[in-house]
Amino acid sequence: MGEEEAAAARRAILSGWVTQGPEVAAFEREFAASVGARHACAVSSCTAALHVALLAVGIAPGDEVVTVSHSFIATANAVRYAGAHPVFIDIEPETLNMDPRLVAAALSSRTRAILCVHQLGMPCDVGVLAAIARGRGVPLIEDAACAAGSQIRASGGWEPIGRPHGDIACFSFHPRKLLSTGDGGMLTTKDAELDARFRLLRHHGMSVPDTVRHASTTVVTESYPSLGFNYRMSDIQAAVGREQLKRLPAIVAKRRELAGRYTEALRHVPGVTTPREPEWARTNWQSYVVRLRDGLDQTRVMQQMLDEGIATRRGVMNAHREPAYPEGTWRTTSEGLEHSEEAQDATIVLPLYHELTCQDQDRVIESLSRACGGSGIA
Ligand SMILES: *Cc1c(COP(=O)(O)O)cnc(C)c1O
């Protein structure tokens, strides 16, 4: 973030609106246009967006939602906020995304939704998943927390994630993601009725938004037709988001260039497998995750790199391995979650940010190569 974001926050503060108002409405219009969505509804986080999405499609206690364990814990948590049980299916090792071939075995008479994740920005196979969901008559919700700026090939051309290709897509604007409002989230959909439900749920279930009441020349009395939440985004955050949205294409382009450099250089490093981008996907490379060969200890490699001044992160977590997920709160299929667990234990996230210089990137490549037992000359 820079001067533009600071000036935008100042503008919102001095406008007198501060909370959800015209900046939020403008950010929603601009975000919707950028992903080609008919409707976009801003909320306080992607976790809130996922909760709202699940409630809007009618998820209720006792229902099952087919999803992945191999994700940030908020994905599975949102299912439980709605009183439902996550049914975890395994991932494809190369993309870290839900394996569509495993969905059929996870469906039961209690399945009410499929919640897929575009993990770390890498598009999952939403075309195939949407067809499965349609065949089953359940909605497909996309956890697109990391996927602002990612694209997928659909109906012959490249389309941004978020159109959406399922029924609802949920984005995060946490600082960890490419586009940030400090904290924040967005729901996109083609369905006007769903969008109306999002707007009720995010604002205490209140029938009249503040903007409408403020603009009215007659006295307006609101009602509360459903149980809602305070999941609003503030105008200060939205003003910052509008500036961030302008930067997104350049940030994605730079990351794709740097990721390409990693992939090219790391091809020659034994013991390291680079991530695969399917030919129908263009990831924003929110994170660049490599897999270490069997026998290479993840923590040892990370420590050796840290000793050389290079910070890495372990791969994506698995919700089902956490104490917050005791038996009875979730189930899986007979295929189990072997690839999910392997990915957590054998992958590391390399430094990648749009200001990364080629020189620093070469240091990372050399350090990783040394830590994996190579000469360090990639
Ligand atoms: C970051 C993230 C979330 C949570 O986003 P917040 O905006 O922090 O609530 C949910 N799902 C995935 C896959 C994420 O990476």
Q: Residue 375's pLDDT band (boundaries 50, 70, 90)? A: low
Task: Work out which ligand 1 atom sits closest to the CA atom of 74.
Answer: 10
Q: Report how far residue 224's alpha carbon sits from residue 203's, in angstroms, rounded to the nearest whole number.
A: 10
**Which residue from 67, 146, 232 has its CB within 8 A of the most atoms of ligand 1, so it is best to mutate?**
146
Asked if residue 273 has pLDDT above 60, the reply is yes
pLDDT tens-place string over residues 77-101: 999 999 999 999 999 999 999 999 9
Q: What order of strands is seen across the sheet that includes strand 272-273?
A: 272-273, 288-292, 347-350, 313-314
Asked if residue 373 has pLDDT above 90, the reply is no
Mean pLDDT of the chain: 96
Q: Residue 18's pLDDT band (boundaries 50, 70, 90)? A: confident
User: 216 CA to middle of ligand 1, Å?
Assistant: 37
Task: Work out which ligand 1 atom sits closest to the CA atom of 146.
Answer: 15
Nearest CA to ligand 1 atom 8: 174
User: 141 CA to middle of ligand 1, Å?
Assistant: 14
Average pLDDT over residues 188-194: 98
Average pLDDT over residues 170-193: 97
Average pLDDT over residues 172-180: 96
pLDDT tens-place string over residues 326-345: 999 999 999 999 999 999 99
291 Cβ contact list (under 8 Å, min separation 6): 93, 272, 273, 343, 346, 347
pLDDT tens-place string over residues 38-69: 999 999 999 999 999 999 999 999 999 999 99
93: preceding bond cis by omega (within 30 degrees): no
**Which residue from 72, 73, 117, 176 has its CB within 8 A of the most atoms of ligand 1, so it is best to mutate?**
72
Q: Report how far residue 119's alpha carbon sits from residue 143's, in angstroms, rounded to the nearest whole number.
A: 8
**Which residue from 81, 91, 150, 172 has its CB within 8 A of the most atoms of ligand 1, so it is best to mutate?**
172
Cβ count near 154 (within 10 Å): 15
Asked if residue 146 has pLDDT above 60, the reply is yes
- 111 forms bridges with which residues in the sheet? 64
